[in-house]
Structure 1
Amino acid sequence: MKKIFLPVLLLSLCLAACHQQKQEPAPYNRQARADEYERNFRSHIFASCLNEGKFYSTYALARLDRKPTECDPRYKVTFVNGPCAGKTIFTTDVIEKTSPVDGGQLIKGDVVLRNFWNPRKLDKDTEKLDRWNRAVVYDTSRMSEGVVELEFPRDRNDFMAAREFIFLHNVRYIQKPEKKDPRIWL
């Protein structure tokens, strides 16, 4: 009986160990889609690809190739997506750091970056992340519904700027460099 019991016991332990490894992969090998989405923003910067230097310029994700120096104050960037995908340019109009908007932190007058496409559902695909614009927060009364009203001034004299309701997951804070509303309020 001992001769049969010992090999069967060893075989069953080996099978159980193999079965357990196949069923549940190690937790550090799992990748969450939300992490990839945010990693895409952390590893790239936003550079102006259309209407450079204007408040209403269009931004796209770009890879930073060279930072400014004392001799040349411009960034060298290569666009990853958007209307200028693959193009390498020298520019001073960049947004180096952004963060997602959490409910309750927006204040009227804040300058934020918004997704041009404004999809209803947060699609973690990079397909709809190719065009971004700066905007000024106008109304935060519907933030509990996941919507904020933004206005898009075109210059310092535009006091009747266009307004749109944008879903909160399509809005990002501009952390570096700080941007201010271009209009001059008396």
Structure 2
Amino acid sequence: MITAGLAIILSASVILADFRGRESTTRRKLLNGYSDSQIMQGIGIQSVGLAKMNSLVPYHFFLIWMLSLLSMATHNATLLALVRDYRRDWVLRWMRQLLMFVNLALSTVSGVFVLQTVAKGLDKSTLPVACVWKVDGEKSPSNAGLSYVGTIAAMAGNVIIFVLATWYLHSRKQKLYRIVQIVGWILMAAVAIGAAIRIILLSQAFGHP
């Protein structure tokens, strides 16, 4: 989460430098490394989670999904700052597009498992998350409906943001460019902060399993 925080702050710094017409070559190179690490981290952690779904309990699987949402939001924030670099090189642009699609696909699959877990009230179960399709549901807690809607909203939001990010990555038009950068960065920072808070609240290290 520290790396994600640094990436978000650095992306804001690069965007502000662009507004002022100042060079930010060093910061861009550093941010590019953070951007790569965030999207690869998201893909990697979700791949491991799905590969081990026969042994991971829903609690840990949900934490993995939240970490992937954090990395996705952070990557999108860096994309807003570095989009000009990708637009200049079609190879880098389409490689980034492919990685974004893979990340979205993994997030959607993971989200379906989380959704099924919430729907059956198995979020506190000690059974492997793969069992959510095989066992009957338990009595759902009072806030199950809110969790269900929230999970669907997160999945739908990921798809919408992916579509917008794809348009932003490939569009050559500069209309509303600055506004998109500012609004997009604020939105992605808010999502990242929300995911980080959720992870901290769920973490056993803070005494709230």
Give TM-score scaled by structure 2 length.
0.19
Bigger helix share: 2
Larger Rg: 1
Bigger strand share: 1
